[in-house]
Amino acid sequence: MKNFTSILVFLFCAFSAQHTLNAQIQPLLTKGAQSLRQLEGAPQMNDLPFSKDENKKVVDRDDPVFRLRASRSDRWENGWIGSDSVVNVYDNQGNIAQSTSKRFDGSVWKNYEQYFRKYNVNNKETEVIFQTWDGVIWANGTRDNFEYDVNNNRIQSTKYNWDGATWVNFSRNDSEYDSNSNLTLNTGQTWNGNSWINSYRTANQYDGNDNITLRTNQNWDGVGWKSINRTVYEYNTNGENTLFLSQAMNGGVWENTLRVIYQYTGTNLTLELSQQWSSNNWINSSQWIREYTANGSHASTIRQNWTGSSWVNSSYITNEYNSHDDLSVRKYYSWKNSNWEILFELSYNYDVNNNLVFYLEDWSELSSVSDYRVFSYYDSFINTNTSTPELFPIQAFPNPSNGIFFLHAQELDQQPCQVFLYDLLGRQCLQQAFPGLTSEPIDGSHLSNGVYVLRVIAQDGKQAIKHIQISK
């Protein structure tokens, strides 16, 4: 086992005396996005284009040297009001073994929910138990178990529900891979009380470079598999996605529904054009125009909608960076009365070790919507057996997304790796194993709107850290 010496480093500990607390609790980082969609005329921020932008570290929630030990979040209601807190416990291999969250009831922090995680010798997650606090004891909720093949590909995921006395089957997911460890078939089943019943499956095809070229989704109709929809992908000579084509099955014939065309300047994605299929023609829908800094970081994105004769501005995002090229401010605007009107902004502060220690959602321009902030606390671990891993640049696209996105890193396209997603309270929300990053998309569609931290660990120990936003 690795020997760790833990030195607690409190990075933020002072809160203003004027901050009052009350019992109203709301989910962190989700209200803002939900409220934005409720605003009349507010732009939809989903499905923005590729992110060849933030190839810079924003925050490392599970770094081998600095690990997130705890976080707390507040919201603004005529004063900062306590909302949520999370404390993480790590095993000797540096994996999160337990995460416990609490919520403030106006006078004290009360238990809310917790996760217990187990791992195999390859640090692959094998079990996750979710519990909620019933006011007296921790009550079991769900359990997930995972199995892997000799190549460390996840081949089976089984979910159980607690019925008060024992764990009961609920759903199962089986995966198959080709000789290059590309996921070729993913089958979902549900438990009917006596046996496993087919529900859905996804079949993937790849080109000689292991880029996915076709994904077909099917549902089980009780007798056989029925095709529902499919997606066709095309790439340029650099391996960059140039076409996303969605089709639906109608009367035994594939019919076009949506396509997205991507254009690049060098390696930077500069234009994304979305079109809808109507009356045997492609009709413009929306487009995203992106600009970059001299360092190649994403500077801004303008979304425009097609009126039938011209493009009209809709939304605008700008990014600012600190001296380390870490994202420090992101602002969102809406086009109103021939001007850009700010909606809200996100602010990020870092410690001397480049860990994100403070996050703020500022909705001051919209008096009906609360602000949010997050404080993070880290332990500093001295690991006598390993050194700080090498970080490499990575691309995520689209970003922001509806939860489904792709990753690309030249160094990892053909190298097995692990992908993790964490929320801004440090809770692990997703883990997937890949034979190479071009093999399949990351599916976080089940996650709530908000900002997440992506961590990729390659087989050779190299890592990548990236900021991901989900906006549905």
Res 205: pLDDT: 95
Give per-residue burial for 9-27: e unless 16+ CB within 10 Å, then b. bebbeeeeeeeebeeebeb
| Coil, helix or strand at residue 193 | coil
Q: How many helices (H) and strands (E) does the chain have?
A: 1, 30
Rounded Cα distance, 97 and 385, in Å? 21
360: tokens are: 């703020």
Res 345: pLDDT: 86
Nearest to 210 by CA among 243, 177, 186: 177
Q: What is the pLDDT of residues 359-379, one digit of tens each?
A: 777 765 555 455 777 777 665
119: pLDDT strictly greater than 80 = yes
Q: Are 448 and 376 in contact (CB under 8 A)?
A: no
User: Can you say whether the dihedral through the CA atoms of 306, 311, 317, 321 is positive or negative?
Assistant: positive
The beta-strand segments (E) located in 322-364 are 327-336, 339-350, 356-362
Q: What is the pLDDT of residues 46-74, one digit of tens each?
A: 222 222 232 222 222 333 345 677 788 88
Can you name the residues that pair with 212 across neighbouring β-strands?
Answer: 206
Rounded Cα distance, 126 and 147, in Å? 7
User: Can you say whether the dihedral through the CA atoms of 412, 435, 56, 297 is positive or negative?
Assistant: positive
Q: Which of 93-107, 292-306, 365-379, 432-446 has the largest mean confidence?
A: 292-306
Q: Is the pTM of this model over 0.85?
A: no
Q: What is the pLDDT of residues 172-229, one digit of tens each?
A: 999 999 999 999 999 999 999 999 999 999 999 999 999 999 999 999 999 999 999 9
Res 307: pLDDT: 96
CA angle 305, 311, 317 (to 5 degrees): 60
Q: Are 171 and 191 in contact (CB under 8 A)?
A: yes
User: Can you say whether the dihedral through the CA atoms of 331, 332, 335, 337 is positive or negative?
Assistant: negative
Rounded Cα distance, 74 and 344, in Å? 17
Res 77: pLDDT: 75
Q: Are 87 and 100 in contact (CB under 8 A)?
A: yes
Can you name the residues that pair with 38 across neighbouring β-strands?
Answer: none
Res 354: pLDDT: 66
Helix, strand, coil distribution of the chain in percent, nearest 5 = 0, 60, 40
DSSP 8-class letter at 77: S
